[in-house]
Structure 1
Amino acid sequence: MNRRLVLAAALSLAASAASANPFVQTIMFDPDTREPLVARPHASAAARAPAIPREIVAYTGGHAPGTVVVNTTERRLYLVLADGRAIRYGIGVGRPGFEWAGSPTITRKQEWPDWRPPVQMLQRRPDLPRFMAGGPDNPLGARALYLGSSLYRIHGSNEPHTIGQAVSSGCIRMLNEDVVDLYDRVRVGTRVVVLR
């Protein structure tokens, strides 16, 4: 059989499997090179995945290397590096009425944090649980960076489709893989600049 037809059939089979269950990844291999073949994701799965890649970009914001800069208008977070560069991440930000600006420091770091909704949130949403143990279903996601003495955090999310949107109660949301990357690069005492 023609090699091109074999590859097309393999990709079609992988795409069919993805459309049947977008949460299951099917890996097919090229019969000649044994390299993995990549099928296009099912449209609904692609629609759920945010298109905000983590990347190194030029940065001229004037902040010292090591500073975390949150630009809520852009819905991007920058970790300033040396030599006029920064790592840029996509974020979710506070919805209208929950925007804020300031310059706190990171006062605590937590892996797979537990979640206790603050009193103000429970007053707005009495249906929320009073406590949720850390884990994949927890709204704080894989990591949390606590900001000053406020209730705000930079944290992961169990709702990756909200990255790039203004939906939170003021916290800065990130994809779990992005917040893990940031968590490993910053320390307690790091300055965070939140811009509106």
Structure 2
Amino acid sequence: MKTSLLLSALAATLLSAPLAGRCAEIVLEQSAVQTLVMEGLFKDNGRLYLQKGVCFAYLDSPQVALQNGRVIIRAHLSSRLGVPSGRECVGVSLASGATMSAVPAAQGQVVRLTDIRVDEVEDPNTRNLLNLGLTPAVPGTVEFDVKKAVEDMLKGSGSRLQAEVQMLKIDAVQVKENRLSISFDFKLAGR
């Protein structure tokens, strides 16, 4: 009798405990974020086109770093800007190294890049090109679907149980110690 009473009291205490302790975390190393950037942005033969055609502009050879709460992308810009004339572009060629950065942020069950800015450009003439072409292109193209990642991890666990993520809420996204950390709470149903 005392044992069942004690177990009931312990269960009631655990059920009334704050929910803050139920948080999970996915930590992405710099190499994983590099892969996400390559797959999301530089997916056209390793290039991110800001403009296509005879007059063109693209970024390539990206290198990703994680620091100061931001995802830093250093890339090389190649362009031929001007007026199309038949099969040629009458204008100027520009080439420059550039550094962009963005803040990873939760949007629903997905982490996307926000607050995109051009931090450094070796050739000042290319800054306007990057500001006009890059900022609108990035937010929706680099994303990490946390719910899908959790479901994929569960499928790959080798368990005979079928698990379904019924609810997922991202609590925090932050860059710290050269890693991207995503803290979240979720509810699983197993069959």
TM-score (norm. length: structure 1): 0.21
Task: Looking at secondary structure, tell me which structure has more helix per residue.
Answer: 2
Report which of the two structures shows the higher radius of gyration computed on alpha carbons: 2
More strand by share: 2
